Amino acid sequence: MPDSTKANDIAKRVLRYYRKNRRDLPWRKRGDAYGVWISEIMLQQTRVAAVIPYYERWLRSFPTIEALAGAELDEVLSHWSGLGYYSRARNIHSCAKEVQANYGGELPRTAKALRALPGIGRYTAGAVSSIAYKEHEALVDGNVARVVSRVFAVEDNIKSTAGIKEQWRICEALVPKSAPGDFNQGLMEIGAMLCKPKNPDCVECPLSEHCRAFNEGRIDQLPVVSKRKAASEKPLLALEAGYLERGGKLLLAHRKAEGLFGGLWELPSADSREALANLTGLKLSFLGKQASLLHEQVLSHRRLRIRVWPAQVSGRTKLAQDSPYQRLSWLRLAEIPSIGISTATRSILERRSEIQHER
């Protein structure tokens, strides 16, 4: 735990670095609680460069919490499509509705009240309250955890209960009352731009004088991290998907809200081609003995493999009672961008010429 003299010096160095070197990012220009909230949710496990176009499009379509609360979930998911972790988008929508109904469309001003809302945890609450409302609150994300683990030589695994507890304890002792938002953003900026997982720029880092990992020659040893599972070690989810066209429309299935890909539209998928017919209630005559397209994707906790089968279609749709979907709909391709579709289905549709060629 840092003493007050060391904590004050670290705060001064972080603030000086941030105010001189901070990146010009759209959510920093906006600066309000709504913009901070949306950016922080989008930035979780996603790079800044990838988030910027999503953020700007989002704010054009949903400039206020009131606009977001009044939007349909399909529209919200369509704006999130490609970012992954779709439960976050569903939580954002639920949270907006609650804020509009109970707080007059303005996010609460304290971390404690923010944490009571759907999808807002300790980190996001700390970010919104400190950056937008100047509340004296700490935050810990991946970048911050790496910085404090090196500066203070935290020996516990960075993602363990003990390691997380220690990171928060340190950050709470460091954050200054005068500029908590700038300090928190400064720690994140140092982690993102200087204190990188590999080849950190310790020469330029304003905290190198205080950094135990640097001064003890242990930069490559800290933070302590668990070995990541190789993609081949993750469990495989193998599905058969139907590419079913009729009258210039494509059949898509809308998943129930809970579970993997909850609330998203996708090509109807099942464990087997036979199950596809039972799932949709249609009579399907598959074109060929081999799938015409293979989609493979590595998710956070599993591998996904989808074989896509075009088929001639007859009969009327009738959703099976034990289906993971809540409804089936025939949609024109031009309509699909306006709904929330899974990343897998989006990738498959981008390659649909391969399917049509096989037909």
Active-site residue numbers?
40
Tokens of 70: 């009044």
- Residue position matching structure tokens 């603030």: 15
Residues 6+ apart with CB under 8 A from 245: 251, 310, 313
CA angle 308–324–238, rounded 5-degree value: 40
List, as one string, the DSSP characters of 46-100: S-HHHHHHHHHHHHHH--SHHHHHHS-HHHHHHHHTTS--HHHHHHHHHHHHHHH
Residues 6+ apart with CB under 8 A from 104: none
Q: How does strand 283-286 pair with strand 303-314?
A: antiparallel
Nearest to 284 by CA among 333, 326, 254, 251: 251
Tokens of 283: 């009579």
Q: Residue 60 and residue 64: Cα distance in Å, rounded?
A: 9
- Residue position matching structure tokens 């140092």: 190
Q: What percent of the chain is helix, strand and coil (3-state, nearest 5)? A: 45, 15, 40
Alpha carbon 65 to its chain's center:
19
Task: Confirm if 86 and 263 have CB atoms less than 8 A apart.
Answer: yes
Q: Residue 121 and residue 124: Cα distance in Å, rounded?
A: 6
Alpha carbon 57 to its chain's center:
16
- Residue position matching structure tokens 């949710």: 41
DSSP state of 152: T
DSSP state of 336: G
Task: Confirm if 243 and 284 have CB atoms less than 8 A apart.
Answer: no
